Amino acid sequence: MPIKRIIAGLNEFHDNYFMAHRDLFEHLSHGQNPEVLFITCSDSRIDPFLITQSQPGDLFVIRNVGNIVPPYGTLNNGEGAGIEYAIQALGIKDIVVCGHSHCGAMKGLLQIGNLAQQMPLVYDWLKHYAEPTRRLVLDNYKDYPPDKLLKIAIEQNVLTQIENLETHPIIRSKLHSGQLTLHAWRYEIESGEVFAYDADTGQFKPMENRALPIPTRLIGVHSE
């Protein structure tokens, strides 16, 4: 059974990795000082620590269906609380919003009517927070083939969430003073590549060992 494998993994972690890195965990027990707030999808194929080769304590992670950032002022907004804590309490200076290829949430968004009966909570979540992405894609790219349409939706959704980040007062303040940088990424599962948004060209480009900052005003994705 899968849970037995997970329990075996816990034992292996403690007996091997933890014991070999005991000093690191002793240090972490006294507090955290992550370098990046990493916002990504709950999809089981995405592991922020694996794809960035980061260590425990390096990333402050927020995950949900579709890597959504609700705009400021949404009631009972756990994402907003996490963002505020990351910036104010932890002093994080870089935020990454990372979408990914083959995203089920974006597939559902493009056919959202089918979700209403089967998964009403997913329907409400996407309809409320990703509707700008759906409308933009279907109004401007509806004649594209399904695979291209999905890729555009994934990228546009990342940019939508960057814009939603900017509605948070603490984000706008830090951006204005130059103390914060936003990054829009798309992770491609099948190739292992990460593409970062380049505002000068309006396209997501391979990282090529460099980070591409996001301006406070986005111009959207230009189709290739």
7: CB partners within 8 A, 6+ apart: none
pLDDT score for 216: 44
Domain membership flag for residue 214: no
Please indicate, yes or no, whether residues 155 and 171 belong to a single structural domain of this protein. Answer: yes
Q: What residues of the chain score a pLDDT lower than 70? A: 1, 75-76, 209-224
Domain membership flag for residue 219: no
CA 46, 49, 50, 51 torsion: positive or negative?
positive
pLDDT digit string, tens, across residues 35-51: 999 999 999 999 999 99
Domain membership flag for residue 68: yes
Please indicate, yes or no, whether residues 52 and 148 belong to a single structural domain of this protein. Answer: yes
pLDDT digit string, tens, across residues 105-125: 999 999 998 898 899 999 999
For residue 194, which of 68, 4, 76, 48 has the smallest C-alpha distance?
48
Q: Report the Cα 103 to chain-centroid distance in Å.
A: 12
* Domain that includes residue 21, residue range: 1-29
pLDDT digit string, tens, across residues 153-163: 999 999 999 99
pLDDT score for 218: 53
CB 195, CB 188: distance < 8 Å: yes
